[in-house]
Amino acid sequence: MDSSGGSSKLGFSGYRHTTTGKPDLFLTQVGPGTPGGEYQRRFWQAAAWEHEIKDLPFVQRVLGEDLVLFRDKSGRYGCMHPHCCHRNTSLEFGQIEQRGIRCCYHGRLYDIDGTILEAPGEPLDVLQRQVAQPAYPTHVFCGMVFVYMGPIEQKPPFPNYDRFNVPGIRMAAGDRLPWTCNWLQLKENVMDPVHTATLHVLPGQPNPFGDGFGVIPEIEWAETPVGCIYVAVRRVGENIWARSTDALMPNIHSITTVFESGRQRKVSAPPWLTLWTTPVDDENCINFTFFHLRDDETREKRVASQFNNFGQSPNRPYEERQRVPGDYDAMTSQGGITPHSKENLGVGDTGVALFRRLLRRGIEATQRGDKLPFLYDFNGTPTPTYGNDRIVPLSAVNGDPDDKRVLRQYARNIVKDYLDNPPLKALS
């Protein structure tokens, strides 16, 4: 049977679309010397969980560089280029000592900052003035070893977001989730609440998202001092539910619980999960997750929940993933680096465009040598964030709660209120 009939002048246009699209390498590349890579190197990057670094060196690729991480016998963490600056033997075979790591080949001992401490058969004082093993600073937070890979004179303080210190909520180490695509495909998804009403409510999907998630909300997007935010407003029974998530530039975001139903009124909700995305190279990244647990909640209970990591990896039969795809399938199937030139963005992609625009601004500031936008505060006080659930009675909106224009205006009002009064202050 011939199926050549069609109802659109644009139908059966495959032949006209066989050219290869072009990725935006300015935004997506992360290697040394690339515009995006230089920008990323001005921020702390999650490298490995503490429990992964045992009594042997641990190899991890970050921003296109292979790194060797270790914990010396005095408990300090080190991070170095893998090849010994003497004769290029890899320090993944190095010997961990009380102070630093020793190359297995000729016995040179390096302190965690790369200083040569011992060089058998060589004049140590001369060597120490001439050379050091390339090394990066580390910082330990919530069971994670972070590295800073930029100019040492520009090293920022470690971020101190308000959601890291909420009374009655403690943080705990989560998971390592590798993704076979560019980091930007994960992070720009943060500003796409439309997909939660489509991808996450497919028929047959074992997903605990509340019923309210199945309604495409009225959405407002805005820039914030830490990056960008969306506010998605829905009517749920006699309530108005305003759910917000913010992207903390360049590669962090935190969400409130996906079990929210929108039926219990509240001014503010605590964080539930923080995701720190590490660019491994241009076509691979890792989502490191951090749990925010109530005092009565255990890490084991969170790990065992039916939501935990569903659709966040390829660890399901292929046919099942075709029938019930998850985030991993939607994002990695775009390609290793999705070609932006072949996209056709719509109104619901406003947040994606905003995120890319802010990323471009940060990269261009790095190129000029200007102060970076969205870098963590330097005054020692917690940096406000804006992800929240606010659930109020219908009377809180000015007008018909079933009118999309009224809900959109309420979303705008929420954005302004949050920027003036960061929502987590209500939980302090």
Closest CA to 390 of 414, 420, 425: 414
Distance CA 411, CA 386 (A): 13
pLDDT: which is higher, 13 or 363: 363
Question: pLDDT tens digits, residue range 251-294?
Answer: 999 999 988 889 999 999 999 999 999 999 999 999 999 999 99
What residues form DSSP beta bridges with 58? 69
Note if the bond before 422 is cis, omega within 30 degrees. Answer: no
Closest CA to 230 of 249, 217, 213: 217
CATH 3.90.380.10 fits domain 162-427: yes
Distance CA 294, CA 219 (A): 29
- pTM for the model stands at 0.93
SS3 string, 137-161, reads CEEEECCEEEEECCCHHHCCCCCCE
Contact of 76 with 88, CB cutoff 8 Å: no
- The DSSP 8-state label assigned to residue 121 in this structure reads T
Average pLDDT of 144-164?
96
Question: pLDDT tens digits, residue range 357-367?
Answer: 999 999 999 99
- The DSSP 8-state label assigned to residue 266 in this structure reads B
User: What are the φ and ψ backbone dihedral angles of 59, each rounded to 5 degrees?
Assistant: -100, 130
For the record, the structure tokens of 25 come out as: 């390498």
Average pLDDT of 3-9?
66
User: What are the φ and ψ backbone dihedral angles of 278, each rounded to 5 degrees?
Assistant: -100, 120
Contact of 175 with 289, CB cutoff 8 Å: yes
Q: Sign of torsion, CA 329 227 45 48? A: negative
Closest CA to 79 of 125, 111, 40, 123: 111
Question: pLDDT tens digits, residue range 195-239?
Answer: 887 787 766 665 556 666 777 899 999 999 999 999 999 999 999
pLDDT tier, 378 (very low <50, low <70, confident <90, very high otherwise) = low
For the record, the structure tokens of 9 come out as: 């002048």
pLDDT at 12 over 90: no
pLDDT tier, 300 (very low <50, low <70, confident <90, very high otherwise) = confident
pLDDT at 241 over 60: yes
Q: Please enumerate in sequence order all residues whose Cβ is within 8 A of that of 198, keeping only pairs 6 or more positions apart, or say none.
A: 216
Which residue ranges make up each domain of the chain? 44-154, 162-427
- Looking at CATH, the fold of the domain delimited by 44-154 is given as Rieske Iron-sulfur Protein (2.102.10)
For the record, the structure tokens of 288 come out as: 């490191």
- State how far the alpha carbon of 105 is from the alpha carbons of 54, 84, 88, 120, 303, in Å: 22, 9, 9, 11, 43
Question: pLDDT tens digits, residue range 107-130?
Answer: 999 999 999 999 999 999 988 899
